[in-house]
Amino acid sequence: MNEQQLANANALVKERQEEVPSLPKAVMTEKKVGQKRKRQPDYSEKVLAVEDLHVSFKTFGGEVQALRGVSFDLYKGETLAVVGESGCGKSVTANTIMGLIPQPPGRIKSGRILFKNKDLTKLDKAAMRKVQGVDISMIFQDPMTALNPTLKIGEQLTEGLRTHQNVSKAEARKKAVELLEIVGIPNPEERLKQYPHQFSGGMRQRIVIAIALICEPELLIADEPTTALDVTIQAQILELFDEIQARTGVSIILITHDLGVVAKIADRIAVMYAGKVIEIGDKREVFYSPQHPYTKGLLASVPRLDLKEEELQPIEGTPPDLFAPPIGCPFAARCPFAMEVCERVYPGTTELSETHKVDCWLQDERAKHVFQM
């Protein structure tokens, strides 16, 4: 190993050493928060209401019905996790809320997105620009593609603040330094002068989070923010979300495949399948008392360390074609409990509690004597 290689190796080790201990300092300092890290949502204040949202995309092969009547609410200080297989509509839902659906080929066919009683589907591009990054921000899945490789981090952090708020360059820079400290970036003054490729994956993800928070939004949408990170850094990012929420009371929509992430930080869980929310409830209800066969299948497919002899139970089959979705329950073709009515008619919503709702014919009184769920 020559001197240059040794210097590069030492620099990398130093960066990793800086990265690992830095975030716990930021997230575990209770004096900064003034309270325990975990906060309680304010269910008296509704921040977002998505009502019967239908979104489709026109393609050469036909019309893809990506969202087919999605409805859910989000409250102040709450974390709502949206889970489901790839292609079920999670990211389309997030992009529609953010106003990022290209029209055409995309089209919002019907439904409403009420953010603080303002229907976002009725806003033009100019009005929506005043909401994007200010009241609603989004953390994208891959931080390397979310960041501009030709601009220094400082420019990218301050751009949104100077665009949406009348602040000076010095004030914007000061706020950027504060945000980098909050998200656990060491030496923030120096780091502002660096480019994205000079940061590790975990560091880049924290920078993307800082950019999303710079204008102090009320709603933060996180699209699989921990997918590309190793387990240690993933845990730190989750702690960071809790710290940020305790500080600011921001509401979070978390899109993920990882049920371990959901179990750690979610307050409520919405399970999506084939463009529909088929079950929604608080974390305890969904994990300990799932009612839809698809939700049960998702939980059964997760590896468990306490059951060494048990085999994983995959969900057989594939999701339906959204060019021509089924008229009945979209999970009927894969469901071991499917009845004839499941294929012919979509089930109504059954309210099992104030927070727990499910769309499944097995909840019908006429089916309960046939199947023991």
Instruction: Identify the pLDDT of residue 28.
Output: 32
DSSP assignments along 175-197, one per residue:
HHHHHHHHTT-SSHHHHTTS-GG
Residue-wise pLDDT tens digits, 58-72: 988 899 999 999 999
SS3 at position 170: helix
| Residue 53 CA from chain centroid, whole number | 18
C-alpha to C-alpha distances, 8 to 152, 179, 186, nearest whole angstrom: 21, 28, 19
Count of H helices and E strands in the chain? 15, 12
Which residues in the chain show pLDDT less than 70?
A: 1-39, 228-229, 305-310, 368-373
Instruction: Identify the pLDDT of residue 306.
Output: 67
Q: How many other β-carbons are positioned within 10 Å of the β-carbon of residue 271?
A: 24
Are 319 and 330 a contacting pair, CB within 8 Å? yes
DSSP 8-state secondary structure symbol assigned to residue 362: G
Q: What is the 3-state secondary structure (H, E, C) of 97-160?
A: HHCCCCCCCEEEEEEEEEECCEEHHHCCHHHHHCCECCCEEEECCCHHHHCCCCCCHHHHHHHH
Residue-wise pLDDT tens digits, 114-152: 998 889 999 888 888 888 888 899 988 777 778 888 888
Instruction: Identify the pLDDT of residue 370.
Output: 60
